[in-house]
């Protein structure tokens, strides 16, 4: 039904646009343009843009066209007669032929194209891998035998890759290992659902690695100062950790509470800005394990935090904080989402069409500038000419007497 309506209304829009160009009466051209604007408003309704459809009717088909008709009638353009011998007689048939070709091409593209009219397109899940395995400089991560991250160095993350929905086995190998001949270092099972963004964080040591599946939420928020964060606990010295904004476990804001080792938290909505982040052991003692000062939390992004430790050659440990940021999608109904939708889906195509029409109008004016009838030359006369330009007035009687003498 939608395809049929699109073809019918599109045909009416193209025909009215052509008639607007080839009509010999300026008022008729303006009325055809009004009908064309109505067809565009109907297209906005088909795209669920009711507001833009009403704006198209009230502003363009209403106020602007009233102004056009006022100017046409004020200048008397509706009384102009067509030119007897037009300079470009081929323009009208060429415009009709091009309009028909355009309509047929668009119709064939829509009919033969794979256009889904049965609802919104299903979003694919996205996956990536993060290497935080101590004593292992690079790893390979496979998803049911398909490589999603090869030679991934320590402390790095691969880019998000779209994947098909389903149930998969995630396997971890040393970089360059043959999956057909060697046993994986760690495995995990995962279900990929639509709209998910999963990070496979490899933590632990080479002797005891672990794969943690972190479900990130990359949807935007309706707050410009907020962000979503997911935390992975890779601190082996304690069983559970708390992540606190600040350095005081009591006065500071608890962001993540009671997160066990080898687990990922659910996405948490927090406020962005520059702050100190501390990790405390959960329990009665509340020992501060690590602190990271002046960390910038970028709003409107998805954040994945991996807290872990790395051994030194002298048997001491470095506190490691892997902070990974991802661009979040604007939330539906938020200011950013509405702005992007209005600009990319509605306003930008209209402005592109307006530019094309402006170029066409300029070209038409240039082509037809010599077709105007020559103007009559009028000699201006001064009502009160200056004295030096006035000729002396000779009385008639004086002239006769001088001739008679």
Q: What is the CATH number of the domain that holds 149?
A: 2.60.40
Residues 349 and 362 grouped into a single domain: yes
Residue 325 phi/psi, 5-degree rounding, is -110, 145
pLDDT in tens, 74-116: 777 656 565 566 666 777 677 777 777 877 776 676 666 554 4
- Give the CA angle between residues 37, 343, 11 to the nearest 5°: 30
Check whether residue 309 and residue 261 sit in a common domain: yes
Let me know whether 110 and 133 are in one domain.
no
Q: How far apart are CA 387 and CA 103, in angstroms?
A: 71
Strand blocks (E) in 95-239: 126-131, 138-143, 146-153, 161-162, 166-174, 186-192, 197-204, 209-216, 226-234
- For residues 137 and 175, is the Cβ–Cβ distance under 8 A? yes
How many structural domains compose the chain? 4
User: Which pLDDT value is given to residue 100?
Assistant: 74
Instruction: Determine, yes or no, domain membership for 249.
Output: yes
Looking at the domain assignment, is residue 72 inside a domain?
yes
Q: Same domain for 57 and 138?
A: no
- Cβ atoms of 184 and 161 within 8 Å: the answer is no
Structural domain ending residue among the three candidates 216, 251, 275: 216
DSSP state of 333: T
The label of the residue with tokens 């010999």 reads: 24
222 within some domain: yes
Q: In terms of domains, do 183 and 236 share one?
A: no
DSSP string, 210-229: EEEEEEE--B--S-TTEEEE
Give the pLDDT confidence score for residue 381 in this predicted structure.
59
Which long-range CB contacts under 8 A does 111-118 form with residues at least 24 apart? 111/3, 115/3, 117/2, 117/3
The pLDDT value given to residue 248: 84
Provide the pLDDT for residue 173: 92
- Give the number of C-alpha atoms closer than 13 A to the C-alpha of residue 227, restricted to the C-beta side: 22
Residue 53 tokens read as 């459809």
Question: Residue 196: its pLDDT value, please?
Answer: 85
Residue 387 lies in a domain: no
User: Are residues 225 and 313 located together in one domain of the fold?
Assistant: yes
Q: Residues 366, 287: one domain?
A: no
CATH number (domain holding residue 92): 1.20.120.1200
pTM: 0.55
Q: What stretches in the chain show pLDDT beneath 50?
A: 115-122, 398-405
Residue 325 lies in a domain: yes
Residue 386: per-residue pLDDT: 61
Domain end marker among 69, 90, 114: 114
Q: Are residues 102 and 195 in the same domain?
A: no
Backbone angles phi, psi at 367, to 5 degrees: -65, -35
Beta carbons within 10 angstroms of residue 155's beta carbon: 14
At 116 the pLDDT is 47
Same domain, 324 and 336: no
Helix pair angle (2-22, 26-46), 10° resolution: 160
Residue 98 inside a domain? The answer is: yes
Does 193 share its domain with 226?
Answer: no
Note down the domain range covering 360. Answer: 332-372
- Residue 316 · residue 295 · CB < 8 Å: no
Residues 101 and 136 in one domain: no
Q: Are residues 86 and 14 in the same domain?
A: yes
Which of 65, 89, 114 is the last residue in one of the domains?
A: 114
- Note whether residue 363 is domain-resident: yes
| Residue pointed to by tokens 């929905």 | 165
10 assigned to some structural domain: yes
pLDDT for residue 330: 52
């Amino acid at each position: 039904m939608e395809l049929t309506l699109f073809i019918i209304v599109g045909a009416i829009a193209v025909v009215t646009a052509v008639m607007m160009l080839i009509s010999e009466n300026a008022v008729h051209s303006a009325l055809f343009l009004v009908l064309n604007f109505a067809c565009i408003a109907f297209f906005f309704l088909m795209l669920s843009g009711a507001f833009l459809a009403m704006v198209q009717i009230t502003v363009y088909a209403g106020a602007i066209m009233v102004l056009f008709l006022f100017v046409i009638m004020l200048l008397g353009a509706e009384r102009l007669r067509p030119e007897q011998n037009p300079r470009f007689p081929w323009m009208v048939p060429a415009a009709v032929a091009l309009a028909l070709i355009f309509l047929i091409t668009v119709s064939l593209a829509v009919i033969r194209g794979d256009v889904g009219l049965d609802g919104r397109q299903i979003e694919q899940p996205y996956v990536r891998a993060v290497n935080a395995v101590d004593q292992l400089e690079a790893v390979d991560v496979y998803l049911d035998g398909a490589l999603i991250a090869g030679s991934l160095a320590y402390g790095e993350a691969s880019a998000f890759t779209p994947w098909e929905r389903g149930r998969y086995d995630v396997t971890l190998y040393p970089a360059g290992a043959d999956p057909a001949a060697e046993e994986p270092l760690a495995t995990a099972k995962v279900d990929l659902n639509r709209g998910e963004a999963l990070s496979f964080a490899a933590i632990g040591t080479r002797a005891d690695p672990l794969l943690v599946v972190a479900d990130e939420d990359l949807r935007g928020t309706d707050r410009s100062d907020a962000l979503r964060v997911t935390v992975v606990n890779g601190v082996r010295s304690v069983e559970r950790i708390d992540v606190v904004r600040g350095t005081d476990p009591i006065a500071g804001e608890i962001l993540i509470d009671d997160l066990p080792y080898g687990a990922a938290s659910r996405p948490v909505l927090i406020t962005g800005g520059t702050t100190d982040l501390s990790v405390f052991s959960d329990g009665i003692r509340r020992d501060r394990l690590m602190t990271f000062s002046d960390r910038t939390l970028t709003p409107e992004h998805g954040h994945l935090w991996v807290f872990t430790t790395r051994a030194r050659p002298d048997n001491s440990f470095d506190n490691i904080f892997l902070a990974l940021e991802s661009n979040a999608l604007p939330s539906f109904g938020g200011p950013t989402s509405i702005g992007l939708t209005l600009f990319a889906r509605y306003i930008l195509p209209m402005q592109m069409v307006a530019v094309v029409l402006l170029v066409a109008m300029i070209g038409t004016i240039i082509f037809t500038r010599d077709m105007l009838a020559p103007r009559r030359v009028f000699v201006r006369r001064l009502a009160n000419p200056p004295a030096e330009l006035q000729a002396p007035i000779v009385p008639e009687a004086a002239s006769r007497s001088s001739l008679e003498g």
